[in-house]
Amino acid sequence: MTDIAAPRELRLRLPIAGSALLHAVAAAALLFARTTRPAPQPPTYAVTLVAAPPGERRIGVVQPPPAASTAPDAPAPIARETPDPSRMKALSKAKPARTPKTATPNTATSVRPSPAPIAGGGPVGGRGADVANVSIAGVQFPYPSYLTNVVRQIALRFRPTRADGLRAEVAFLIRRDGSVAGLRLQTRSGVYGFDTEALGAVDAAARAGAFGPLPQGFSDDVLPVIFSFDPRLIR
């Protein structure tokens, strides 16, 4: 009886062990699916337009300090001699000598040079369209000269009709060949005209091919950029 019961008990244990193994594999697969992380997204470079400081006043020469004005000394009065009456009569009887006329040379009219303008008196230089200070948030872009050109090209084409403290953010992608895709408003200003002008500045620069191809050493195929438009910071 013992020899017959042993194979029967073995046949009962094999299905139970197989079922337990299948459940363990299913639980492990479910746990692995939950712990799988999503694929990383490409970094986005947020660029804020910040204008260069106003130019210094450079017109003219340094104004010398004014000299203290002193009143000229009054000349001493000249004492007159009393004429002799007898001498006066002798001079009146004598024939006066004729004095020859001398030619008077023509004197050239002296032209007074106009004074040079005073240094520091010229107009203050305005804020240039080529923005020198670029604030980059997020991952540091390894080619700042490329971003500086992007900022300059957009600033040259951004001429808002309103500047009442409005601010808008425009997001777009620069492809490897310098073309632009995915142009959209990231943050609206609340004024339709201002938002349209911000989008138009990026679109005009992209149509002109002003950005140029991405740098050779940049490994990604696109450069995601977010521009912050603030008319108070650019001329």
User: Which residue segments constitute the domains of the chain, with CATH numbers given?
Assistant: 45-52+125-229 (3.30.1150)
Q: Where are the alpha helices (DSSP H) in the chain?
A: 2-35, 85-93, 144-157, 192-207
pTM metric for this prediction: 0.49
DSSP code at position 101: P
- CA–CA dist 77, 54 (Å, integer): 62
Give the C-alpha separation, 51 to 198, whole Å: 16
How far is the C-alpha of 188 from the C-alpha of 96, rounded, in Å?
Answer: 104
CA 179, CA 211: separation in Å to the nearest integer? 8
Query: Which strands sit side by side in the sheet containing 45-50, from one edge to the other?
Result: 133-137, 45-50, 222-229, 168-175, 180-187
Contact 208, 154 (CB under 8 A): no
pLDDT tens, the chain, 235 aa long: 455 555 556 555 666 666 666 666 566 656 655 555 555 555 556 555 554 455 555 555 555 556 665 555 655 556 555 556 556 555 555 555 565 555 555 555 555 666 655 544 544 444 444 444 344 445 566 888 998 899 999 999 998 887 678 899 999 999 999 999 999 999 999 999 999 999 999 999 999 999 999 998 888 888 889 998 886 665 5
Rounded-to-integer distance, Cα 67 and Cα 64, Å: 9
